[in-house]
Structure formats: structure tokens, C-alpha cells
């Protein structure tokens, strides 16, 4: 596995963000519009053809991305990550903040993330929490750590809409880092998680 | 919470599938093309404008969907579900098969689902397994069941590419159904899961 990074300046990061974030946001709105569209079959077919034409434009040049490291923060920029990547339209727009061993994100989940009527899919809660606990355990992804185990307790349904998630390191035992976290709506936590994240053997020396 | 269903015939289901599945697949390919495009900034801007125009076409008529029940199988058709919905481009194309209390799916996860280099994001594995254990516990979503707890054990990284996931009911104790499952590649299981799924109080009478 290759963990080579390319260090980029904040200026270059901001340039890429300004270029790609509006594209990702446009794709995201298209996902949401497709989900419940009720237009007639001819319009559906025309939409599909137009989407295929745009896909061909974007496929004309594809780059295998080298993992990027932000020069100022020392943190990897996981641009294509399915939980937080600003180039991945699957990811809810979730920007993780870090402070003093804790990390958190405020974000909104709409109908594309729905499981039971009006509620977030339990597996989407698991995706959000696995990612956030992993960020906490790895000090913002600056240390290679892999999920060993994760357990989630669903106290009640998580309503679609504005949410907050938090995670922090509970304790460290050798190569194992124990992290905890939760998702909450305005009335408090809905899902709680604890996970064990493991430093791979190749990263333990020194 | 409203669990009213509209029963549809197989013919109507096949009509909707033929209409919407190619649209979803086109949106999915657009997500993948956006992820790693290296086209120049003017082309990115033009792509974004064209995507916004298609979104407007599809937004012209939006329908709040009534949950559908397939007349022949008696199973809900969760068309917009983020794990399996055939109208949701976030979902990997994952078609769940049911037989005698077990369910399984064969599917392929590409770079849009990547966490560590070359490997599936741990949270995406959690999304897949939460969904599949829930399907097993609820007899293919025919009984209302909510995730109570789920625990995942990551034995090794799950490589991007073709995968298989399975789930089954381990035992039932009153309102609690205990389900187990795993994700596997060609070399065997990578992630194992167990979960407790709870029948809500309002569904217990009778």
C-alpha cells in the first residue's frame, strides 16, 4: 500500500476547492433531482442523454490522484473520500473540524440518505461515525490507523435534516486507539459509537 | 410515521425499472467521472452549467413517493434507499437476493467508495452490512424493524472490486432479532457483523 503524499500549499488547495466544489455540488443536486423526479419518459430519456454527454466531457482526461497533504495543517486532503471528500458527490457535504483531540462536523442529510420514512438510514449513520471516529483516532488522518472494530447503539431514529456528529479518543493501549462519538439532532444524541482503531505493524517502528 | 404502501404489479415495477434504472446509472457514471477528472477549468465550468440545466429539467416535476409494495413478492420496493435503491445514484448497484431466511448480494465497489488507498472505506462496509442485516432481520423489509445495535469486526482491508455480502437471522428473543453477516472478496470474509434489530412497540400487537 502506498502512502506517498504530495504536499500542497493552501493557495493551491483553495484553487482546487474553488474549481471542484461547485462541480460536486451540481452533481449532488442532480442526484437529489433524479431521486424523485416525476417528469415524463421522454424528458427522462433526454436528461439521461445529456448526462452521458457531460460524463464524456469529464472522462476526456482522468487523473489518478496522488494523496495530498496540506502544507499548513499537515493533514491529508481526502478529496475523493465517500464521507467527506469535496470531489465526491456521494459524500454529504460534511466538513470536519479538529480541536484538541476532538473532532466534529455539522451537516444536513436529505432524502438521498433516508432509510425508514423521515429517518436517516442506519447504515449512513454508521458511515458518518466510522469516518469521524477514524479521524479522531488518527489525529485528523495524520497517522495510518485502520478500523479494528466498531459498535453502534441506536437510541432512537435520526431525523433527516440538520445534524451534528462528534468524536474523541477515549484511551490508547499500545497499537490500539479507543475512540467514541455520537450523532445528535437538536434534542440530543440519536446514535452512539465506540471503535478500536489499529496502527498497522509497518507504521509501529520508531 | 406512515407505513402506508401502494401495491404495484410486476408489470408496473418493470416499467418503472426500465424508465429509471438507466437514468440512475447515468448519474452514477457522472459521479465517477467527476471524481478524478483532469479537464481544464473552462470545461469543468461548462460541465457544471450543463448539469445544472439537466437538474432543472428533472426538478420541473417532483413527486413525494409513496412506499411501494410488490404484488407478487409482498416486499417493499425501496426505490430511493441509499444502499439498494434503484433510483438512488449514491447506492452501489446492489441487488439483494432472498432465500430461506438468508439474503445476499454480489456487487462491485469502485473508487467512489474508497477509504485507504485501494480499499473500501470502513464506513461503506458498515452501510452495506447494516442494510443487509436489516433485510435479513425484517424478512426482506416485510416487517418493521429498526437497528438497535450493530458491531463490526474488520479482519482485513476490503479491496475495491467485486464483493459478496451475506446475512442471516441468528436467533429471535421476543422483540429482538439477532442477525449476522459478512462481506467477502475472492479470498474469504473481510468484515463480519452482528446486529440486534428491534420490532417497534406499535408493531407488536397481534
DSSP states of A120-161? B-HHHHHHHHHHHHHHHHTTTTTS--EEEEEEEEE-S--BSE
Q: Do residue B80 and residue A53 have CB atoms under 8 angstroms apart?
A: no
Nearest-Cα distance to chain A for B11, in Å, is: 16
Q: Do residue A33 and residue B151 have CB atoms under 8 angstroms apart?
A: no
Helix (H) or strand (E) holding A191: strand A188-198
Q: According to the model, what pLDDT value does residue A140 have?
A: 77
Chain B interface disruption, residue of A27, A123, A134, most B CBs within 10 A:
A123
Rounded distance, CA B129 to CA B107, Å? 13
Chain B interface disruption, residue of A2, A6, A27, most B CBs within 10 A:
A27
Model confidence pLDDT, tens digit, residues A130-146:
999 999 998 877 888 88
Angstrom CA distances, A125 to A201, B75, B95, B198, stand at 30, 24, 21, 17
Nearest-Cα distance to chain A for B151, in Å, is: 4
Rounded distance, CA A21 to CA A13, Å? 11
Residue in A38, A43, A82 nearest the CB of B124 = A82
Q: What is the average pLDDT across A88-113?
A: 93
- The residue of chain B with its CA nearest to that of A200 is B156
Which numeric CATH code is attached to B94-203?
3.10.129.10
Q: Which residues contact A183 (CB under 8 A, 6 or more apart)?
A: A125, A128, A129, A158, A163, A164, A165, A189, A190, A191
Q: Do residue A127 and residue B127 have CB atoms under 8 angstroms apart?
A: yes
Rounded distance, CA A150 to CA A129, Å? 9
Residue A3 pLDDT exceeds 80: no
Model confidence pLDDT, tens digit, residues A148-178:
999 999 999 999 999 999 999 999 999 999 9
Residues of B in contact with A1 (CB under 8 A): 116-119
Q: Do residue B58 and residue A30 have CB atoms under 8 angstroms apart?
A: yes
Residue A87 pLDDT exceeds 60: yes
Delimit the domains of chain A by residue range.
1-91, 94-203
Largest Cα–Cα separation, chain A: 63
Chain A interface disruption, residue of B15, B40, B51, B179, most A CBs within 10 A:
B51
Model confidence pLDDT, tens digit, residues A106-120:
999 999 999 988 999
Residue in B37, B58, B116 nearest the CB of A58 = B37
The b/e string for B81-114 (b: 16+ C-beta within 10 A; e otherwise) is bbbbbbbbbbbbebebebeeeebbbebebeebbb
Residue B2 pLDDT exceeds 60: no
Q: Given pLDDT bands bounded at 50, 70 and 90, which one contains residue A83? A: very high
- A87 in Cβ contact with A24 (< 8 Å): yes
Nearest-Cα distance to chain A for B124, in Å, is: 6
Q: Do residue B123 and residue A82 have CB atoms under 8 angstroms apart?
A: yes
Helix (H) or strand (E) holding B182: strand B176-185
Model confidence pLDDT, tens digit, residues B159-198:
999 999 999 999 999 999 999 999 999 999 999 999 999 9
Q: What is the average pLDDT across A81-105?
A: 92
Mean confidence (pLDDT) of chain B: 92
Q: Do residue A67 and residue B117 have CB atoms under 8 angstroms apart?
A: yes
Model confidence pLDDT, tens digit, residues B16-69:
999 999 999 999 999 999 999 999 999 999 999 999 999 999 999 998 877 788
Q: Given pLDDT bands bounded at 50, 70 and 90, which one contains residue A4? A: confident
Q: Do residue A121 and residue B19 have CB atoms under 8 angstroms apart?
A: no
Residue B1 pLDDT exceeds 70: no
Residues of A in contact with B21 (CB under 8 A): none
Amino acid at each position: 500500500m502506498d502512502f506517498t503524499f504530495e504536499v500542497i500549499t493552501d493557495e493551491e488547495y483553495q484553487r482546487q476547492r474553488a474549481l471542484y466544489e461547485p462541480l460536486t455540488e451540481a452533481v449532488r443536486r442532480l442526484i437529489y433531482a433524479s431521486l424523485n423526479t416525476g417528469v415524463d419518459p421522454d424528458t427522462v430519456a433526454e436528461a439521461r442523454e445529456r448526462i452521458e454527454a457531460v460524463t464524456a466531457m469529464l472522462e476526456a482526461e482522468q487523473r489518478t490522484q496522488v494523496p495530498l497533504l496540506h502544507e499548513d495543517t499537515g493533514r491529508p486532503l481526502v478529496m475523493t473520500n465517500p464521507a467527506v471528500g469535496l470531489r465526491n458527490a456521494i459524500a454529504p457535504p460534511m466538513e470536519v473540524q479538529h480541536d484538541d483531540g476532538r473532532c466534529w462536523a455539522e451537516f444536513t442529510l436529505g432524502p438521498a440518505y433516508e432509510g425508514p420514512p423521515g429517518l436517516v438510514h442506519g447504515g449512513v449513520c454508521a458511515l458518518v461515525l466510522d469516518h469521524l471516529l477514524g479521524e479522531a483516532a488518527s489525529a485528523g488522518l495524520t497517522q495510518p490507523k485502520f478500523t479494528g472494530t466498531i459498535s453502534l447503539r441506536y437510541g432512537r431514529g435520526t431525523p433527516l435534516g440538520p445534524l451534528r456528529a462528534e468524536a474523541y479518543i477515549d484511551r490508547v493501549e499500545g497499537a490500539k486507539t479507543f475512540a467514541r462519538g455520537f450523532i445528535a439532532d437538536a434534542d440530543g444524541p440519536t446514535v452512539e459509537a465506540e471503535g478500536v482503531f489499529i496502527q498497522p505493524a509497518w507504521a509501529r517502528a520508531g
